[in-house]
Amino acid sequence: MGCDILCNRYMTSIAANLQAVRARIAAACVAAGREADSVQLLAVSKTWPASSVREAAAVGQRAFGENYVQEACNKAAELADPGLEWHFIGPLQSNKTRQIAENFAWVHSVDRLKIAERLATQRPQELPALQVCIQVNVSAEASKSGCTPDDLAALAHAVAALPRLRLRGLMAIPEPSDDSRLQRSRFALLRQLRERLNSEGLVLDTLSMGMSHDLEAAIMEGATLVRVGTAIFGERNSA
Ligand X SMILES: *Cc1c(COP(=O)(O)O)cnc(C)c1O
Q: Which residue is nearest to ligand X (CB)?
A: 229
DSSP β-bridge partners for residue 66: 88
Q: Select 46 or 98, whichever has its Cβ closest to ligand X.
A: 46
Judging by beta carbons within 10 Å of its beta carbon (0-12, 13-18, 19+), is residue 238 exposed, middle or buried? exposed
Q: Are 113 and 147 in contact (CB under 8 A)?
A: no
Asked if 230 touches ligand X (CB under 6 A), the answer is: yes
Q: Whose CA is closest to 44, among 14, 11, 23?
A: 14
Footprint (CB under 6 A) of ligand X, residues 82-121: 89
Asked if 177 touches ligand X (CB under 6 A), the answer is: no
Q: Select 7 or 20, whichever has its Cβ closest to ligand X.
A: 20
Asked if 38 touches ligand X (CB under 6 A), the answer is: no
Beta-carbon contacts of residue 238 (< 8 Å; ≥ 6 apart):
none
Q: Select 132 or 154, whichever has its Cβ closest to ligand X.
A: 132
Beta-carbon contacts of residue 85 (< 8 Å; ≥ 6 apart):
62, 63, 64, 105, 106
Q: Which stretch binds ligand X (CB under 6 A): 1-9, 161-169, 199-207, 226-234?
A: 226-234
List the one residue from 116, 211, 218, 220 that touches ligand X (CB under 6 A).
Answer: 211
Q: Which stretch binds ligand X (CB under 6 A): 6-14, 114-122, 157-165, 224-232?
A: 224-232
Q: Are 110 and 132 in contact (CB under 8 A)?
A: yes
**Size of site (CB under 6 A) for ligand X:** 13
List the one residue from 56, 133, 173, 207 that touches ligand X (CB under 6 A).
Answer: 173
Footprint (CB under 6 A) of ligand X, residues 2-21: none
Tell me the closest approach of the beta carbon of residue 209 to ligand X, in angstroms.
9
Beta-carbon contacts of residue 87 (< 8 Å; ≥ 6 apart):
42, 63, 64, 65, 66, 104, 105, 106, 107, 108
DSSP β-bridge partners for residue 234: none
Tell me the closest approach of the beta carbon of residue 94 to ligand X, in angstroms.
19
Helix (H, G, I), strand (E, B) or coil at 175: coil
Asked if 47 touches ligand X (CB under 6 A), the answer is: no
Tell me the closest approach of the beta carbon of residue 232 to ligand X, in angstroms.
8
Q: Select 145 or 185, whichever has its Cβ closest to ligand X.
A: 145
Continuous segment of H or E residues that includes residue 64:
strand 63-66
Which parts of this chain interact with ligand X (CB under 6 A)? 44, 46, 67, 89, 173, 211-213, 227-231
